[in-house]
Structure 1
């Protein structure tokens, strides 16, 4: 599980990174609010831990921006501001959970696991939509209105990951790890081939959705009709 922590307390981040590695979590840390967009757009995270008081841009503004771009990544708002109105504001702005400082690390881990389980249940639908396309993962069908074509299981898995992280730039290594698995021996060439196949499928149904190459980084799914 990959987690982003947006927190200006560097010592706290260092402690949590050590503890998370023991629990098989991978933690990226961002210490300034105005750097948050770079991290959020550069990776696909399972959970974001977001401090409310940050230099450059506060956590509420980061949260509002995240939700205004239809990004559904679960967010735990972490803060020393523990009044009822503070909690209500954070939840109303799109936070999935609220944890006040100081906190126990075991409680934070339990909340992360709970959010990850909830997210998995929500994403276990067999129908995914983006732009003008619908992906049926049960029947491996890509549809646009009355047009459709079949996909392989791997093509379907890859497109699902793109749709879940739509309009985010996804690094090649991240795609290989998340779609094929960390222990697989798949090569960059295999990824390029499947990207080529998916582009052909999108053209077959005359979709305005496209997979854009971000040179030196990876790929991004975009709706070109916008």
Structure 2
């Protein structure tokens, strides 16, 4: 699935690109409305993340232009303007969804998945991640293993999703924090360790062979225990 990101804040633009690519999306990124308009006219994007307040050609003007041209590409508008009137205006302009900054990365990913389920002509996956003896339903946060199933918290689900997408790969602490909490949320470093501790208990309760290994000074990785170690 190809996402077009139009966001003028360089730091946020880079952070979102990193998080989206980590989730497996292809991303084209723009820093202004004129460049975004060019990319939208090519018709290569399956979904657009559009900042409302852009220099030059604003997000509102860009969206109106494309909707008048018959462009039905799903658009998720990102903005710091969060009043009811602002949200109504954004939706009336043609946005399919509206997310107020600052936001958690897990909410952004959930909204992207929600828009994909509405159709629009692009691929929709099953919403499940499976590896080894584990299956995680992303939307419901239901985790299944040999010993049954349980419901994870949203943070637990976000962390496990990241690990399941990159099994046996070491994911850095900053990468995991960005993926789950987002770029605009202040998080104490110890929070990550706490949620990893909770996840390890979940895996043990499900009698799973999957294990979250600590890579000292770097982060964590998802591995598979041998039968003899159980």
CA drift at 1:121: 7.8
* Alpha-carbon distance in 2 for matches of 1:120, 1:67: 14
User: In the alignment, what sits opposite 2:82?
Assistant: 82
Asked if 1 retains the 8 angstrom alpha-carbon contact of 2:9 and 2:31, the reply is yes
**Superposition map of 1:128-207 within 5 A:** none
> Aligned residues, how many?
124
User: In the alignment, what sits opposite 2:42?
Assistant: 42
CA drift at 1:107: 0.5
Give the secondary structure class of the aligned counterpart of 1:113: helix
* Alpha-carbon distance in 2 for matches of 1:54, 1:42: 20
Provide structure 1 residue ranges, at least 5 long, that are not aligned to the other structure: 125-226
Provide structure 2 residue ranges, at least 5 long, that are not aligned to the other structure: 125-230
**Superposition map of 1:91-102 within 5 A:** 91-102=91-102
Q: Deviations over 1:101-126 (max 9, x none)?
A: 000011001100110111258999xx
1:114 has 2:114 as partner: yes
TM-score (norm 2): 0.51
CA drift at 1:42: 2.5
Give the secondary structure class of the aligned counterpart of 1:107: helix
* Alpha-carbon distance in 2 for matches of 1:69, 1:121: 18
TM-score (norm 1): 0.52
Runs of 4+ deviating beyond 6 Å: 121-124
User: In the alignment, what sits opposite 1:220?
Assistant: none
Q: Deviations over 1:30-83 (max 9, x none)?
A: 111122221112342111010010011111111101110111100001000011
Asked if 2 retains the 8 angstrom alpha-carbon contact of 1:51 and 1:79, the reply is yes
Report the RMSD for the aligned CA atoms in angstroms: 2.0
* Alpha-carbon distance in 2 for matches of 1:22, 1:122: 19
Q: Deviations over 1:129-178 (max 9, x none)?
A: xxxxxxxxxxxxxxxxxxxxxxxxxxxxxxxxxxxxxxxxxxxxxxxxxx
1:60 has 2:60 as partner: yes
1:4 has 2:4 as partner: yes
Give the secondary structure class of the aligned counterpart of 1:119: coil
Asked if 2 retains the 8 angstrom alpha-carbon contact of 1:34 and 1:55, the reply is no
